[in-house]
């Protein structure tokens, strides 16, 4: 940053500010995390122990913090058969399911908004944004009220005589997915809408003209052209969902522990900061490495559209 040659005064400042922010509050904490993940804490209270012995000049990295993620300590289970791997897989699957649900709900909605009259679009988009005006926690708690055994849905079902006793909905996978889909839907809708609203409707006419039925034209023209929006929305939902902690702990069941919860437990229950850090580093790797590879080999998302 400091080497940047500047012609416009203030440019370095404007560009530098967010970078500084990211370095101080993202890169630095990440490096600390990485550091802690290699610390041998032993029976100490503090995880901030040196890993560099200045007298001998030896660097001691405790790789075990990582090995235990993949192979259990006591040798009872095989490779990759640990609760951590289970939690990772579960988190990735639930994040994937949430992203798919958001896409299935969000795509028709975004399409509908983008195709509606320009005068009503702000109102429709506002409906998507409106929930952001109330507290996130409040909204998740509201779902508790809806899904609980004595909640709105069960009471309606029972008063209609459709069921005799309440259906267990809260603290299940379903309630967790409902909550996550609900909270993350706007993150799918907004990039999709931004993409779809730019689409040239004449391209669809051209497709019809060339003998394509509307449904076929949607698959052959609209969907491929909105690929960038789909990917953006998918990432915006998938990535935070993998590490989601609040919604699973408020709405999810006790048997399905997500990785966010595992990290939390290691940190505050077991007080094993190095392992918690190692878990977090692996999670970042799980998300960032495939993404980096994907963008490197396609680079399609930024393709110009005319």
Partner 1 sequence: MAEQDSRQDYLVTEELVKRFDEALAVDEVNLSIKQGEIFALLGSSGCGKSTLLRMLAGFEKPTSGRILLSGRDVANLAPYERPFNMMFQSYALFPHLDIWENVAFGLKREGLPSADIKQRVGEMLDLVQLGPYARRKPHQLSGGQQQRVALARSLAKRPKVLLLDEPLGALDKKLREQTQFELVNIVEKVGVTCVMVTHDQEEAMTMAGRIAVMSKGRVLQVGSPQEVYEYPGSRFVADFIGSVNLLDGKLSVDETDHCAALTAIGEVHVGHSISGTLGMPVAVAVRPEKVSIGKKAPQGLSHNLFNGRVKEIAYFGSYNTYIVVTPQGYRMKITEPNGSHLDLLDITWEDDVFFWWDDTDALVLRD
Interaction site with partner 1 (CB under 8 A) = 200, 202-203, 205-213, 216, 220-221, 224-225, 227, 304-306
Closest CA to 110 of 185, 196, 184, 183: 196
Q: Which residue, 105 or 228, is less far from partner 1 as judged by CB? A: 228
CB of 200 to partner 1, least distance (A): 7
CB 71 within 8 A of CB 281: no
CA dihedral 148→136→98→175, nearest 10 degrees, is -10
Smaller CB separation from partner 1, 37 or 222? 222
Question: Nearest-5° angle of CA 5, CA 9, CA 11?
Answer: 70
Burial class (CB in 10 A: 0-12, 13-18, 19+), 214: exposed
Rounded Cα–Cα distance for residues 20 and 10 (Å): 15
Q: Closer to partner 1 at the Cβ: 192 or 279? A: 192
Q: Which is nearer to partner 1, 124 or 220 (CB)?
A: 220
Is residue 89 within 8 A of residue 242, CB to CB? The reply is no
- If residue 58 lies in a helix (H) or strand (E), which one and from where to where? strand 58-59
Q: Which is nearer to partner 1, 11 or 115 (CB)?
A: 115
| Least distance (Å) between residue 89 CB and partner 1 | 34
Minimum distance from residue 231 beta carbon to partner 1 (Å) = 14
Least Å distance between CB 66 and partner 1?
42
Q: Which of 173, 144, 168 is nearest to 157 (CA)?
A: 168
Q: Are strands 52-53 and 58-59 parallel, antiparallel or unpaired?
A: antiparallel
In the complex, minimum distance from the CB of residue 219 to partner 1, in angstroms, rounded to a whole number = 12
Report the run of H or E that residue 52 belongs to, with start and end.
strand 52-53
CB of 209 to partner 1, least distance (A): 5
Residue 53 or 209: the one with the smaller Cβ distance to partner 1 is 209
The minimum distance between CB 301 and partner 1, in angstroms, equals: 12
Residue-wise burial string across 180-193, b where 16 or more C-beta atoms lie within 10 A, e elsewhere: bbbbbbbbbbbbbb
Cβ-based nearer residue to partner 1, 32 or 223? 223
- DSSP code of residue 59: E
- Closer to partner 1 by CB, 11 or 216: give it: 216
Least Cβ distance, residue 190 to partner 1 (angstroms)? 22
Measured from the CB atom, the residue of 218 and 264 that comes closer to partner 1 is 218
58, β-bridge pairs: 53
* Cβ at position 211, least distance to partner 1 in Å: 4
Classified as helix, coil or strand, 10 is coil
CB-based burial of residue 237 (10 Å sphere; 0-12 exposed, 13-18 middle, 19+ buried)?
A: buried
């Amino acid at each position: 940053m400091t080497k940047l040659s500047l012609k416009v005064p203030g440019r370095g400042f404007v560009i530098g500010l967010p970078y500084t922010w990211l370095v101080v509050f993202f890169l630095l904490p990440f490096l600390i995390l990485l550091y802690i993940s290699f610390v041998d804490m032993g029976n100490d209270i503090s995880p901030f122990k040196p890993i560099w012995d200045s007298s001998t000049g030896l660097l001691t990295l405790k790789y075990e913090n990582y090995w235990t993620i993949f192979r259990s300590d006591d040798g009872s289970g095989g490779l990759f058969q640990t609760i951590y791997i289970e939690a990772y897989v579960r988190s990735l699957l639930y994040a994937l399911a949430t992203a798919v649900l958001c896409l299935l709900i969000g795509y028709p909605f975004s399409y509908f908004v983008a195709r509606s009259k320009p005068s009503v679009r702000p109102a429709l988009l506002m409906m998507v944004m409106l929930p952001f005006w109330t507290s996130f926690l409040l909204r998740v708690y509201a779902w508790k009220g809806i899904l609980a055994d004595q909640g709105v849905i069960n009471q309606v079902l029972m008063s209609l005589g459709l069921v005799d006793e309440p259906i267990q909905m809260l603290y299940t996978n379903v309630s967790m997915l409902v909550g996550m889909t609900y909270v993350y839907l706007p993150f799918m809708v907004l990039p999709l809408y931004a993409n779809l609203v730019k689409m040239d409707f004449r391209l669809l006419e051209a497709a019809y003209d060339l003998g394509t039925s509307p449904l076929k034209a949607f698959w052959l023209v609209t969907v491929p052209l909105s690929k960038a929006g789909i990917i953006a929305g998918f990432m915006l939902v998938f990535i935070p969902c993998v590490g989601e902690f609040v919604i699973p702990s408020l709405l999810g069941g006790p048997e399905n522990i997500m990785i966010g919860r595992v990290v939390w437990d290691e940190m505050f229950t077991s007080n094993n900061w190095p392992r918690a850090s190692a878990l977090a580093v692996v999670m970042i790797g799980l998300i960032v490495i495939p993404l980096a590879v994907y963008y490197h080999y396609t680079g399609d998302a930024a393709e110009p559209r005319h």
